[in-house]
Amino acid sequence: MANIVIQVTTATIKNMESFYEKNKTDKTPPGAIFAAKKNGCTITAYRSGKVMFQGTRNEEEAKQWGQSLNQLTKPVQTKTSGAPLPANISSMSAIGSDEVGKGDYFGPMTVVAAYVKNDQMLLLKELGVKDSKNLTDSQIIKIAKDLLTFLPYSLLTLSNEKYNKLQSSGMTQGKITALLHNQALNHLLKKIDPEKPEAILIDQFAEAPIYFRHLQGQKEILRENVYFSTKAESIHLSVAAASILARYAFLKAFDELSKKAGFSLTKGAGAKVDQDAARLIKAKGISALNQFTKLHFANTNKAKKIAGITKA
Ligand code: MN
């Protein structure tokens, strides 16, 4: 059975100490405030605020005081396709790329490639760069503004009109995404030339063979040192930075669209989005959707029904 460690406040340790008063053991290990044994579970509280639970039913005992640090910091499960990742990829000077907006009915798709050198990693961590899914919009805006002042990057914003044109010409969203990543990566390589990254890591939206199939027929297909992984923002800070910059660009574009619409549009593709789209149809006509939305989403038909254009 694995030991469980939780982090608590001094006040909680005081509470715990009186709670386990009768179960206290004589021996207190170095650095510990108290140790206790209850129903086969040994509880050791340390001055650092860490409390360890060992032995039978330790989960039960621990969970009344706090969440296991193991659970909080459990390693992210990633999946790699194509070439296996170099063992030390996290510390390499690398370009990472990521996209935002694929699942949002309103707003563009944004793709960013960003270059992070090994000696910039501490600074990026200091600025708060991490998985953008764990950051609020206002944190993302603040970090992005810092990054934009020094980090080499390439941003592509695919407007709704252009997206709809490509999509209606027969391109899948996967193909559109692949073309944008490849283009952003090429732009950035030219920007940092003659410097060369040690690796290029794409946040995997399609398995490597599919990605390259999407790129067939393109002039500049980047293959050298290109790696793919899911949750790649947890593997290299360049992907985390790219996702922050892509999200920032998306948020700005989204605000602009809301201004054009005359009201605050909703992110995602849920029921509120259908309502917003119906409101747009009533105010500006059905043809206006082309500049605000990804037309092929199911939201379009739902909005038409709500707006009374088609029968329910
Ligand atoms: Mn991604």
> How many Å lie between the centroid of ligand 1 and the Cα of residue 149?
23
Domain residue extents for the chain: 4-63, 80-256, 261-307
CATH fold match for the domains 4-63 and 80-256: no
Burial call 77-116: b when 16+ CB within 10 Å, e when fewer:
eeebbbeebeeebbebbbbbbbbbbeebbbbbbbbbbbbb
Per-chain mean pLDDT for the chain: 93
Q: How confident is the model at residue 217 (pLDDT cuts 50, 70, 90)?
A: very high
Residues 243, 15: Cα–Cα separation, whole Å: 42
Angle between the 160-168 and 173-192 helix axes, to the nearest 10 degrees? 120
Which comes out higher in pLDDT, residue 261 or 80? 261
Integer angstrom CA distances of residue 140 from 105, 151, 247: 21, 15, 7
Whether pLDDT at 48 is above 90 = no
CA dihedral 150, 155, 159, 163 (to 10 degrees): -160
> How many Å lie between the centroid of ligand 1 and the Cα of residue 280?
29
Q: What is the pLDDT of residue 250?
A: 98
> How many Å lie between the centroid of ligand 1 and the Cα of residue 72?
22
> How many Å lie between the centroid of ligand 1 and the Cα of residue 202?
8
**Domain 4-63 = CATH 3.30.310.10:** yes
Contact 288, 281 (CB under 8 A): yes
Q: Is 273 left (phi over 0), alpha (psi -120 to 50) or beta?
A: alpha
Residues 120, 240: Cα–Cα separation, whole Å: 13
Contacts of 166 (CB under 8 A, 6+ apart): 158, 176
CA dihedral 272, 290, 210, 250 (to 10 degrees): -60
**Domain 80-256 = CATH 3.30.420.10:** yes
> How many Å lie between the centroid of ligand 1 and the Cα of residue 111?
9
> How many Å lie between the centroid of ligand 1 and the Cα of residue 119?
24
Whether pLDDT at 150 is above 70 = yes
Q: 194: how many CB neighbours lie within 10 A of its CB?
A: 4
Q: How confident is the model at residue 309 (pLDDT cuts 50, 70, 90)?
A: confident
> How many Å lie between the centroid of ligand 1 and the Cα of residue 67?
28
Q: What is the pLDDT of residue 131?
A: 85
Q: What angle do CA 114, 116, 120 make, to 5 degrees?
A: 145
